[in-house]
Amino acid sequence: MKFDMITLGSATVDYFVYTDADLIEIKNIDSEKELLAYPLGSKILIKELHTFTGGGGTNTAVGFSRLGLKTGFIGNLGNDEQAGIILKELKKEKVKFLGLKSEEYKTGFSIILDSFADDRTILVYKGANDFLDFNKVKQNLNNVETKALYVSSLVKNSFDAGLKIIKYFKEKGAVVFYNPSSYVVSLGLNKLLTYIKHIDYLIVNKEEAQTLLGLNKELELKELSFEVFNKTKKPICITDGKNGAGFFDGNKFYKKPARKVKVKEKTGAGDAFSVGFVYGILKGKDYNTCLKYGILNSDAVIKEIGAKNNLRSSFD
- State whether residue 182 is helix, strand or coil: helix
- pLDDT tens by residue, the chain, 316 residues: 999 999 999 999 999 999 887 777 777 766 677 777 778 888 888 999 999 999 999 999 999 999 999 999 999 999 999 999 999 999 999 999 999 999 999 999 999 987 665 667 889 999 999 999 999 999 999 999 999 999 999 999 999 999 999 999 999 999 999 999 888 999 899 999 999 999 999 999 999 999 999 988 889 999 999 999 999 999 999 999 999 999 999 999 999 999 989 988 889 999 999 999 999 999 999 999 999 999 999 999 999 999 999 999 999 8
Beta bridge partners of 78: 102
Q: Specify the pLDDT at position 24.
A: 73
Q: Is residue 71 part of a domain?
A: yes
Q: Specify the pLDDT at position 90.
A: 98
- The domain of 177 spans 2-11+55-107+127-302
What is the full DSSP assignment across 119-130?
--EEEEE-GGGG
DSSP annotation of 258 reads: P
Q: Specify the pLDDT at position 29.
A: 65
What is the full DSSP assignment across 12-30?
EEEEEEE--PEEEEEE-SS
> Is beta strand 32-37 parallel, antiparallel or unpaired with respect to 71-74?
unpaired
Q: Which helix (H) or strand (E) holds 151?
A: strand 145-151
Q: Is residue 45 part of a domain?
A: no
Q: Is residue 144 part of a domain?
A: yes
Q: Is residue 41 part of a domain?
A: no
Q: C-alpha angle 5/302/175, rounded to 5°? A: 20
Q: Is residue 16 part of a domain?
A: no
Q: Is residue 19 part of a domain?
A: no
Burial readout 301-312 (b: 16 or more C-beta within 10 A, e: otherwise)? bbeebbbbebbb
Domain count, the chain: 1
What CATH code is carried by the domain that includes residue 204?
Answer: 3.40.1190.20
Q: Is residue 314 part of a domain?
A: no
Q: Is residue 48 part of a domain?
A: no
